[in-house]
Amino acid sequence: MIFLYCRRGISLAAILTVLAFPALAAKKKPKETAKAAPPTVTISLDASQTPRKIFHVKLNIPATPGDFVLYYPKWIPGEHGPTGPVQNLTGLKFYGNGQELKWRRDLLDGWTFHVEVPAEVTAVETSLDFVAPAGEEGIYTGGPSATNKMAVLSWNTMLLYPAGWTSDELKYQAALKLPQGWKFGTPLPIDSQSGDNTKFKPVSLTTLIDSPIITGEFLRVVPLANDPPEEMDIAADSAAALDAPQDVLDHYKTLTDQALKLFGAQHFRDYHFLYSLSDHVAHFGLEHHESNDSRLGERAMIDPDLRLLGAGLLTHEYVHSWNGKYRRPFDLATPDYEKPMQTDLLWVYEGLTSYLGDVLSGRSGIRSPAQFNDALANIAATLDHLPGRTWRNLQDTADGVPAMQGAPAQWESWRRGLDYYDEDVLNWLWVDTIIRQQSNGQKSLDDFCRLFHGGQSGPPEVKTYTFDDIVNTLNQVVAYDWRSFWTERLSNHGPGAPLTGIENSGWKLVYDGNRSELTKAAEGAHDSIDASFSIGFSLKKDGTIVDTIEGMPAAKSGIGPGMKVVGVNGRIFSGDVFRDALKATKDSSEPLELLVENTEYYKVHKIDYQGGEKYPHLVRDESKPDMLGEIIKPR
Ligand SMILES: [Zn+2]
């Protein structure tokens, strides 16, 4: 998963990328039916009113008399938290033999429903509506997902399932009605089709929830590979948005080839990049075994700047088919969607995925080497200005995510964000360079991937792992004290980003007054100015301060997030006036003077700073071989 959050107002995500309280259902054991054959549930989804963002669902759920327990999916794979959007579950009704049945929500768990099923009733007819958010509220599959022209249908948002079975045991047979003339793409096996109605083959609940549907009036299918078949199913809010240059699409063909060379096997029957292009859906990526649900702005494929910003998304989500879905931390592989997930190994699940996704973006040509380096420089620089590491270690950014995700954008450098993504790009690069050094260039992280993610090609399966499995597999590639390495990386409170991987690979992180192509694209796309690495804040073009970095000059002068710069050195604020003044600090001994509005009050802040503009770059260290160039060379 990648949540395209704004780090200090500049979306860098694209740049690359528990304990349970006992649920009542556990106490009130469902009837002892677990020995009988698992039930088959039929589900009929009427998506014909997608433009209104309301979805009607009917389910036939085989039932047992008494207190019949049904769950709405709560812990959604890949979302790393109890994010099932139960607030948008509406119109819930249950019937048995034509009579409406009484129900009550569980007092300890709002995703659990108790239905009173009379003795003679063997199936509960359920009707419900899922109402998708129309604004900006909600995250991931619970966020905005439907427009006038397209939608992503995530089954986890649209169903209930009976307690007492694992999601592998439960069978679901789905039917779908779409708006007239809309096309769709999905990895879900199709049984039959008639007009706007489709019947799917029965699958496990696991597979159903793992197989979203993208649909729209404008849908383009781009074949990528034949055996097994792989394709992009791209839905957009306009036909024009689908008109990507051929070489852009060709890079994704190369991606499938390079991924197979990296991992040595594939764990899907066919694969679908379900790619949404809309300014009116939530922007993120969510992985599945046989697809990914990736969503960017409408012009993300046809605008070069937006293409650059989004370059890391699809590669990240694709890598997850191997790292996250096939190989999964033991405590993220839960039997259903009710049992809480534990997120301590996300530094592998997400961190390694981000690193490999970035590497593949280089090997496939989705990013040029210079673009790859700029992305890495931005990650390194951002993490190198992170005071939050003094109180919170990297491990805690993973451990805490079920509670911490969805935090406001403000105060991120002090709170720390989801650093197990980006900081572990630097750490896995470090690992890659150690393997290459220790083996005199004979081995690399590719060898780890073939051992860990390869094996036999075939349909989706899950092989779980622990911390020890990571250490042991790394030792199979090259003997080293990997346990101490990772323990130190995850637990230290030292200042500064882990830059050793960059340095080992023959490059250095430097700052100068020139914005990279990537920084310019990010500032343009977000209408923002990034002064993070100079005075330590980022602001919108209207002067509103998105975030400040604790300990840096702007914060020291008393400026905080949410305030608004209205004047610069006695002149009315504009982006250009501010940038000129920042640049001029180099030749001035006077402080930079900002007039700042804060909750209806004005104050002049004098910022003691003489460094000029500062933007990050990587430059070659000629004393060492260019290992980074080697890492992103196509195999
Ligand atoms: Zn991810």
347-380, pLDDT tens digit by residue? Answer: 999 999 999 999 999 999 999 999 999 999 999 9
Ligand 1: distance of its center to the CA of 350 in Å? 5
- The whole-model pTM stands at 0.94
Ligand 1: distance of its center to the CA of 320 in Å? 7
Ligand 1: distance of its center to the CA of 289 in Å? 12
What value does the mean pLDDT take over residues 548-553? 97
Q: Which of 587, 579, 607, 585 is nearest to 595 (CA)?
A: 607
Ligand 1: distance of its center to the CA of 323 in Å? 9
Give CA–CA dist 230/218, Å, rounded: 20
Ligand 1: distance of its center to the CA of 407 in Å? 18
Ligand 1: distance of its center to the CA of 360 in Å? 14
Q: Which of 348, 289, 322, 245 is nearest to 77 (CA)?
A: 289
Q: Report pLDDT digits (tens) over 418-453.
A: 999 999 999 999 999 999 999 999 999 999 999 999
Helix (H, G, I), strand (E, B) or coil at 199: strand
Give CA–CA dist 141/82, Å, rounded: 12
State the angle between helix axes of 246-263 and 351-363 in degrees (0 to 180), rounded to the nearest 10: 120
Bridge partners (DSSP) of residue 254 are none
489 with 500: CB under 8 angstroms? no
Give CA–CA dist 441/627, Å, rounded: 9
Beta-carbon contacts of 462 under 8 Å, excluding residues fewer than 6 positions away, are 325, 326, 328, 333
* Residue 71 tokens, joined: 């769950």
- The pLDDT score that the predictor gives to residue 255 is 98
Going from the C-alpha of 474 to that of each of 140, 357, 585, the distances in angstroms are 33, 19, 48
Give CA–CA dist 591/612, Å, rounded: 12
What value does the mean pLDDT take over residues 485-497? 96
Give CA–CA dist 268/251, Å, rounded: 21
* pLDDT band, residue 16 (cuts 50/70/90): very low
Give CA–CA dist 262/412, Å, rounded: 34
In this structure, of 130-139, 199-208, 525-534, the range with the lowest mean pLDDT score is 130-139
Give CA–CA dist 192/198, Å, rounded: 6
Give CA–CA dist 75/13, Å, rounded: 23
Ligand 1: distance of its center to the CA of 432 in Å? 20
In percent, the amount of the chain with pLDDT more than 70 equals 95
Ligand 1: distance of its center to the CA of 487 in Å? 22
Q: Which of 534, 533, 484 is nearest to 379 (CA)?
A: 533
Give CA–CA dist 236/220, Å, rounded: 9
Ligand 1: distance of its center to the CA of 32 in Å? 38
Q: Which of 317, 359, 408 is nearest to 77 (CA)?
A: 317
Contacts 24+ apart (CB under 8 A), 153-156: 153/45, 153/47, 153/55, 153/212, 153/213, 153/214, 153/215, 154/209, 154/212, 154/293, 155/43, 155/208, 155/209, 155/211, 155/212, 156/73, 156/76, 156/84, 156/209, 156/337
Beta-carbon contacts of 230 under 8 Å, excluding residues fewer than 6 positions away, are 223, 224, 256, 270, 271, 272, 273
Ligand 1: distance of its center to the CA of 343 in Å? 12
Asked if residue 285 has pLDDT above 70, the reply is yes
Helix, strand, coil content of the chain in percent (nearest 5): 30, 25, 40
Ligand 1: distance of its center to the CA of 76 in Å? 13
State the angle between helix axes of 467-477 and 482-491 in degrees (0 to 180), rounded to the nearest 10: 130
In this structure, of 226-230, 407-411, 555-559, the range with the lowest mean pLDDT score is 407-411
H or E stretch at 442: none
- The pLDDT score that the predictor gives to residue 137 is 85
What value does the mean pLDDT take over residues 502-509? 98
Going from the C-alpha of 334 to that of each of 276, 331, 469, the distances in angstroms are 28, 7, 19
What value does the mean pLDDT take over residues 289-314? 98
* pLDDT band, residue 36 (cuts 50/70/90): confident
- The pLDDT score that the predictor gives to residue 361 is 98
| 3-state helix/strand/coil string of 262-309 | HHCCCCCCCEEEEEEECCCCCCEEEECCCEEEEEECCCCCCCHHHHHH
- The pLDDT score that the predictor gives to residue 8 is 40
Ligand 1: distance of its center to the CA of 79 in Å? 9
Q: Which of 548, 551, 396, 547 is nearest to 6 (CA)?
A: 547
Ligand 1: distance of its center to the CA of 522 in Å? 21
Ligand 1: distance of its center to the CA of 285 in Å? 7
- The pLDDT score that the predictor gives to residue 593 is 98
H or E stretch at 205: helix 205-209
Ligand 1: distance of its center to the CA of 187 in Å? 19
- The pLDDT score that the predictor gives to residue 3 is 60
Residue 378: phi and psi, rounded to 5, are -65, -40
Beta-carbon contacts of 244 under 8 Å, excluding residues fewer than 6 positions away, are 301, 302
Q: Which of 561, 549, 528, 520 is nearest to 609 (CA)?
A: 549
